[in-house]
């Protein structure tokens, strides 16, 4: 006995066949009947389905409203007995979350949806849908292997229960997985199977999707004639179904293919047809994209004035409809056309001056819009236009500013590019954690979502843009701690340069293709901007240099090449500079600058000089960090924390941690004691040293980190919860390695620590040997202990290692990121020494001079080791020790030490300071006492050196 199909079944059939309007009309009828029959279950399923279909055709606001209505409908029903309804809602909510980039939340919703139906009769029907959508999330995040595993599990279930519709969809997605893996043969097989299966079963929409993807394979294989035929057939299918929007998109795809083949006439004809179809369907987003493509084609055939006119018309329409995504793109395109026109001869000077000014304004407008949209501007679907990635906007603006002789403008654009990319690397979800929201409760991301939603009315988008700008301004003004992360306001060049210490210079590099911009800054300002060209891809030279180091190549030719490109232009300005901060860019972050070398001049000069012997290096992720790095800080730091060998498989790391801990006077946390809470729970330690495995996550660099005893300590953990320490040492494999993100903000452990308030970070660029690593850090901490700044301690330790291990692979991997002037003072040890000094003073007052003198000598030796001769604690102890020498008759030693202490006090405190005056008086008395003693008599009327203020004869002289 056959069952009459329901309107819900018919709606699904219409949707699968491409009749979206008909499908939505039937769902509206189902909703009306459910209202009339007071049937909440039917109403719920209709709302959920309509939400999904609305989302698929781009009506995001309507989809969200329908999903909210479905959730309200479900909340009116008892939970028990309606688990399947909740599972359906969670599935749709998970898909919606994926579309907004909230992949973590999406995965949690989908997993809960699967859990609700597991073990029930509905599992075989529902679970494959969940698996497919979980796989879609993995694909979007670039994890094809995880996606493949889930899709195969879903396919196995649908094959068992005979779900042809599900099988067709899963085979299509497996084809996309193979495409992402670069396996075109397997992708082709999957798409052909999917298309054939869907066509035979009467699911033309699924067949059309598979055929579209199959065309991608053909295109990559160079089978362009077959692609044209396939796209033409698909266009006919969408035209027959009345789906004007899909038909128009196929026309645009055919136009793009013709453009790639160099058939400009055909491409223009197809884009014009597509434009009219999109205009007919009211799809302004795609219509303006067609205009954009037509402008670019006019440029290809050499008609720049026509290209400019088309682009300006498209920008006017984009502004009218507040299509922000197109606005930044068109601002850039128009500026690019004007820059091309400037290269032509014969245009009046007045017109050329106007084009130049307008091109600059257009590039800045494009950059402003990109930054206004924050991380959303990097969504993959927005990068699939004929235009290259958004980095090209910054690069074009930088090159134009440089060509016009405006180095300050070029420099600030470089800094803006670095800043934006940090936000993109965080991603939408991470930014939402810091999103303060507007007074009305609207969050930044909510405003952006609505701006990008094609279903939002044009007049409403203009209001949203104003709200977005207002919210940014309010965040900067009222929530500076949040603004540091979400709205980083760049300092001016004047503010950057004012922060640079007088004895330090800053060398900034920015890579654009085969060219490198070199900026030189110091306290007086930006001195030089040079553009250097390299003859081959930079990434290739970096790989070669790293290979030379790994192979222990004595020549290291690439090291000399990099010196010529990155340092030689600035060397005339660096002749008297020893302390240098470098700001790398792109692949340059992966280089050990200390291993660059040059051939010094002079008959007696060595054949080569490494930069490790020329500069004390530090690196920063951007020059804009300088005002923060060198800001005055009154923070008090606690005892050091040292962790090593968390997994018990790095005996060298355990030995290193034990040696470091002994030098710092703290216990080492080894093996199972080297845990996450010991790191994240550290209360502002002066030093935080970790010797452990470092791992790099290419799928999500923010999940890179250190493997501790109880799990991973990630970059994300450091950004959100990391302790602000004076010095952080990450002595693990590749702890300094990070990924180049769009616009090039490095996202790594070291950079995360700096953003969290740490002053300086020492990290490694590659795995070090146990012997060289232990030796380096032993010398490094010994240098720090005598008060040497961290950059000089790095240079000294590197030199000591190079005298034992002459290969660069052993001495070059250690890098310093942050404040090079950082001095590490062990506060807990100093406090102990102060207590001991007080006990020594008590011994003096009781007349136990010999014991007190010995104590003072021990205390002073330890203070010299920890903080150096000029520290106030050391000077105070030196004064007391000299007094003890005088009381015990060691007058020559007393005078010598008083003289040394007074000279230091004059240097540190000034000649008129009270402390200096006190030591000067003590020196005068000691000299007089010595002189009387040499004459054979003691002056019993002198003030007693014990500090009591009494005459010697009435104090300790009585004894």
How far is Cα 132 from Cα 153, in angstroms, rounded to an integer?
A: 9
- pLDDT confidence of residue 482: 47
Whether the Cβ atoms of residue 719 and residue 681 lie closer than 8 Å to each other: no
Whether the Cβ atoms of residue 658 and residue 619 lie closer than 8 Å to each other: no
- End-to-end Cα separation, the chain, in angstroms: 124
How far is Cα 846 from Cα 347, in angstroms, rounded to an integer?
A: 96
Question: Considering only CA atoms, which of 199, 201, 193, 197 is closest in space to residue 175?
Answer: 193
Q: Does position 105 have pLDDT exceeding 90, yes or no? A: no
In sequence order, what DSSP letters do the residues of 589-630 get, joined into one string?
A: GG--GGG-EE---STTS-S-EEGGGT-EEEE-S-GGGHHHHT
Per residue in 863-921, pLDDT (tens digit) is 776 666 777 888 999 999 999 999 998 999 999 999 999 999 998 888 898 999 999 99
Per residue in 708-720, pLDDT (tens digit) is 999 888 877 776 7
- pLDDT confidence of residue 866: 65
- pLDDT confidence of residue 352: 93
Per residue in 34-58, pLDDT (tens digit) is 888 888 888 888 898 888 888 776 6
Cα 468 versus chain centre, distance: 23
How far is Cα 497 from Cα 521, in angstroms, rounded to an integer?
A: 7
Task: Give the residue-averaged pLDDT of 445-455.
Answer: 65
Q: Any bridge partners for residue 747, and if so which?
A: 739
Task: Give the residue-averaged pLDDT of 355-362.
Answer: 95
CA dist 535 → 398, 515, 562, 593, 831 (Å): 21, 9, 12, 20, 58
Instruction: Residue 322: count other Cβ atoms within 10 Å of its Cβ.
Output: 20
Task: Indicate the SS3 state at residue 517.
Answer: strand
CA dist 565 → 417, 570, 584, 743 (Å): 22, 10, 13, 21
- pLDDT confidence of residue 747: 41
- pLDDT confidence of residue 800: 94
- Helices in 100-143 by DSSP H: which ranges? 103-117, 123-140
Backbone angles phi and psi of 575, in degrees to 5: -60, -30
* Mean pLDDT, the chain, integer: 82
How far is Cα 792 from Cα 784, in angstroms, rounded to an integer?
A: 9
Q: Tokens 């007080």 identify what position?
A: 838
Q: Tokens 């139906």 identify what position?
A: 117
- pLDDT confidence of residue 657: 92
Band of residue 784 on the pLDDT scale cut at 50, 70, 90: confident
- pLDDT confidence of residue 956: 59
For the chain, give the number of residues: 959
Question: Considering only CA atoms, which of 352, 350, 334 is closest in space to residue 342?
Answer: 352
Task: Indicate the SS3 state at residue 868.
Answer: coil
Task: Give the residue-averaged pLDDT of 274-297.
Answer: 87
How far is Cα 82 from Cα 722, in angstroms, rounded to an integer?
A: 44
Q: Does position 3 have pLDDT exceeding 60, yes or no? A: no
Per residue in 453-479, pLDDT (tens digit) is 656 776 676 677 777 667 666 655 555
Cα 563 versus chain centre, distance: 27
What pTM does this model have? Answer: 0.68
Task: Give the residue-averaged pLDDT of 329-356.
Answer: 93
Q: Does position 669 have pLDDT exceeding 50, yes or no? A: yes
How far is Cα 790 from Cα 820, in angstroms, rounded to an integer?
A: 6
- pLDDT confidence of residue 201: 85
Percent helix, strand, coil in the chain, to 5, is 65, 10, 25
Per residue in 795-809, pLDDT (tens digit) is 999 999 999 999 999
Pick 365 or 105 by higher pLDDT: 365
Task: Give the residue-averaged pLDDT of 574-590.
Answer: 91
How far is Cα 436 from Cα 472, in angstroms, rounded to an integer?
A: 10
Residues with Cβ within 8 Å of residue 246, at least 6 apart in sequence: 18, 208, 238
Question: Considering only CA atoms, which of 690, 691, 688, 713 is closest in space to residue 702?
Answer: 713
In sequence order, what DSSP letters do the residues of 337-398 get, joined into one string?
A: HHHHHHTSSS--HHHHHHHHHHHHHHHHHHHHHHHHHGGGGG-GGGG-SSS--THHHHHHHH
Per residue in 502-540, pLDDT (tens digit) is 899 999 999 998 999 999 999 999 988 899 998 888 889
- pLDDT confidence of residue 173: 93
- pLDDT confidence of residue 486: 52
Most confident of 32-46, 399-413, 851-865: 399-413
Burial of residue 820, with CB atoms counted within 10 A of its CB: 0-12 exposed, 13-18 middle, 19 or more buried: buried
Whether the Cβ atoms of residue 891 and residue 885 lie closer than 8 Å to each other: yes
Whether the Cβ atoms of residue 586 and residue 739 lie closer than 8 Å to each other: no
Whether the Cβ atoms of residue 288 and residue 331 lie closer than 8 Å to each other: no
Whether the Cβ atoms of residue 589 and residue 542 lie closer than 8 Å to each other: no
Backbone angles phi and psi of 650, in degrees to 5: -130, 80
Return the structure tokens found at 207: 């067949």
Question: Considering only CA atoms, which of 85, 90, 87 is closest in space to residue 39?
Answer: 85
Annotate 133-145 with three-state secondary structure: HHHHHHHHCCCHH
The secondary structure of residue 3, as a DSSP letter, is -
Return the structure tokens found at 838: 């007080």
Band of residue 132 on the pLDDT scale cut at 50, 70, 90: very high
Give just the sign of the alpha carbon dihedral 248, 252, 258, 263. Answer: positive
Per residue in 746-783, pLDDT (tens digit) is 345 676 777 778 889 998 888 888 888 889 998 998 88
Pick 348 or 435 by higher pLDDT: 348
Return the structure tokens found at 580: 């240098």
Q: Does position 384 have pLDDT exceeding 50, yes or no? A: no
Whether the Cβ atoms of residue 545 and residue 559 lie closer than 8 Å to each other: yes
Question: Considering only CA atoms, which of 375, 365, 286, 287 is closest in space to residue 328?
Answer: 365
How far is Cα 924 from Cα 930, in angstroms, rounded to an integer?
A: 10
Per residue in 476-491, pLDDT (tens digit) is 555 554 444 555 567 8
Q: Does position 134 have pLDDT exceeding 80, yes or no? A: yes
Pick 422 or 663 by higher pLDDT: 663
Return the structure tokens found at 425: 């690397």
Whether the Cβ atoms of residue 595 and residue 546 lie closer than 8 Å to each other: no
């Amino acid at each position: 006995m056959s069952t009459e199909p329901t309107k819900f079944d018919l709606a699904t059939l219409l949707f699968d066949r491409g009749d979206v309007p008909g499908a939505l009309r039937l769902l509206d009828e189902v909703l009306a009947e459910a209202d009339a029959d007071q049937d909440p279950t039917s109403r719920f399923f209709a709302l959920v389905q309509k939400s999904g279909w609305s989302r698929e055709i781009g009506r995001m606001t309507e989809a969200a409203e329908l999903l909210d209505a479905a959730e309200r409908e479900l909340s009116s029903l008892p939970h028990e007995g309606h688990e399947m309804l909740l599972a359906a809602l969670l599935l749709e909510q998970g898909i919606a979350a994926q579309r907004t980039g909230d992949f973590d939340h999406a995965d949690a919703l989908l997993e809960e949806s699967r859990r609700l139906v597991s073990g029930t009769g509905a599992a075989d029907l529902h679970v494959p849908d969940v698996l497919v959508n979980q796989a879609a999330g993995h694909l979007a995040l670039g994890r094809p292997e995880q996606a493949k595993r889930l899709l195969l599990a879903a396919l196995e279930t649908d094959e068992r229960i005979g779900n042809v519709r599900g099988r067709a969809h899963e085979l299509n997605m497996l084809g996309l997985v193979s495409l992402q893996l670069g396996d075109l043969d397997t992708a082709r097989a999957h798409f052909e199977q999917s298309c054939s299966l869907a066509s035979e079963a009467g699911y033309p929409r699924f067949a059309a999707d598979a055929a579209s993807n199959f065309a991608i394979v053909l295109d990559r294989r160079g089978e362009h004639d077959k692609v044209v035929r396939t796209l033409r057939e698909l266009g006919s299918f969408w035209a027959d179904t009345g789906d004007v929007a899909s038909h128009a998109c196929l026309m645009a795809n055919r136009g793009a293919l013709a453009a790639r083949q160099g058939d400009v006439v055909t491409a223009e004809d197809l884009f014009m047809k597509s434009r009219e179809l999109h205009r007919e369907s009211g799809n302004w987003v795609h219509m303006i994209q067609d205009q954009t493509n037509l402008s670019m084609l006019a440029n290809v055939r050499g008609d720049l004035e026509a290209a400019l006119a088309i682009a300006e018309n498209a920008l006017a329409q984009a502004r009218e409809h507040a299509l922000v995504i197109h606005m930044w793109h068109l601002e850039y395109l128009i500026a690019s056309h004007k820059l091309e026109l400037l290269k032509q001869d014969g245009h009046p000077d007045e017109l050329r001056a106007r084009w130049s000014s307008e091109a600059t304004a257009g590039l800045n407008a494009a950059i402003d819009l990109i930054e206004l949209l924050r991380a959303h501007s990097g969504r993959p679907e927005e990068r699939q236009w004929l235009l290259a990635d958004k980095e090209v906007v910054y690069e074009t603006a930088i090159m134009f500013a440089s060509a016009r002789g405006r180095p300050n403008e070029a420099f600030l654009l470089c800094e803006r590019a670095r800043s934006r990319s940090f936000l993109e690397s965080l991603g939408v979800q991470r930014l939402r954690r810091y999103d303060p929201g507007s007074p009305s409760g609207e969050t930044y991301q909510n405003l952006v979502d609505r701006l990008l939603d094609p279903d939002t009315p044009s007049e409403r988008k203009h209001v949203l843009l104003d709200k977005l700008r207002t919210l940014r301004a309010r965040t900067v003004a009222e929530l500076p701690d949040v603004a540091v992360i979400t709205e980083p306001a760049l300092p001016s060049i004047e503010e950057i340069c004012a922060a640079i210490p007088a004895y330090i210079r800053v060398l900034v590099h920015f890579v654009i293709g085969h060219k490198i911009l070199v900026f030189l800054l110091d306290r007086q300002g930006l001195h030089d901007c040079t553009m250097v060209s390299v003859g081959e891809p930079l990434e290739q030279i970096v790989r070669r240099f790293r290979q030379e180091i790994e192979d222990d190549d004595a020549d290291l030719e690439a090291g000399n090449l990099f010196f010529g490109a990155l340092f030689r232009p600035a060397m005339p300005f660096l002749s008297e500079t020893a302390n240098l901060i470098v700001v790398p860019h792109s692949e340059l972050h992966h280089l050990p600058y200390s291993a660059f070398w040059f051939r010094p001049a002079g008959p007696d000069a060595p054949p080569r000089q490494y930069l490790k012997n020329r500069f004390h290096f530090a690196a920063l992720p951007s020059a804009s960090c300088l005002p923060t790095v060198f800001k005055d800080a009154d923070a008090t730091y606690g005892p050091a924390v040292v962790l090593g060998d968390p997994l018990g498989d790095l005996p060298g790391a355990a030995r290193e941690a034990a040696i470091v801990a002994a030098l710092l006077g703290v216990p080492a946390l080894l093996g199972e004691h080297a845990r996450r809470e010991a790191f994240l729970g550290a209360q502002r330690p002066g030093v935080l040293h970790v010797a452990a495995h470092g791992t790099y996550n290419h799928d999500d660099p923010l999940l890179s980190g250190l493997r501790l005893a109880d799990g991973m300590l990630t970059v994300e953990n450091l950004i959100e919860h990391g302790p602000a320490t004076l010095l952080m040492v990450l002595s693990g494999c590749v702890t300094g390695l990070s990924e180049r993100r769009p616009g090039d903000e490095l996202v790594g452990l070291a950079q995360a620590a700096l953003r969290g308030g740490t002053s300086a970070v020492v990290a490694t660029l590659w795995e070090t040997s146990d012997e060289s690593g232990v030796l380096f850090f032993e010398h490094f901490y010994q240098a720090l202990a005598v008060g040497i700044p961290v950059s000089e301690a790095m240079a000294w330790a590197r030199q000591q290692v190079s005298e034992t291990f002459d290969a660069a692979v052993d001495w070059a991997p250690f890098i310093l990121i942050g404040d090079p002037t950082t001095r590490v003072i062990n506060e807990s040890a100093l406090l102990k020494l102060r207590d001991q000094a007080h006990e020594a003073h008590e011994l003096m007052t009781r007349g136990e001079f010999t014991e007190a003198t010995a104590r003072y000598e021990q205390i002073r030796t330890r203070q010299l080791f920890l903080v150096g001769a000029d520290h106030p604690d050391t000077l105070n102890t030196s004064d007391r020790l000299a007094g003890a020498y005088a009381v015990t008759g060691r007058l020559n030693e007393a005078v010598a030490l008083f003289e040394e202490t007074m000279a230091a006090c004059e240097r540190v405190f000034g000649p008129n300071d009270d402390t200096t005056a006190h030591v000067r008086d003590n020196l005068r008395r000691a000299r007089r006492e010595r002189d009387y003693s040499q004459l054979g008599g003691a002056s019993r009327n002198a003030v007693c050196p014990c500090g009591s203020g009494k005459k010697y004869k009435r104090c300790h002289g009585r004894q």
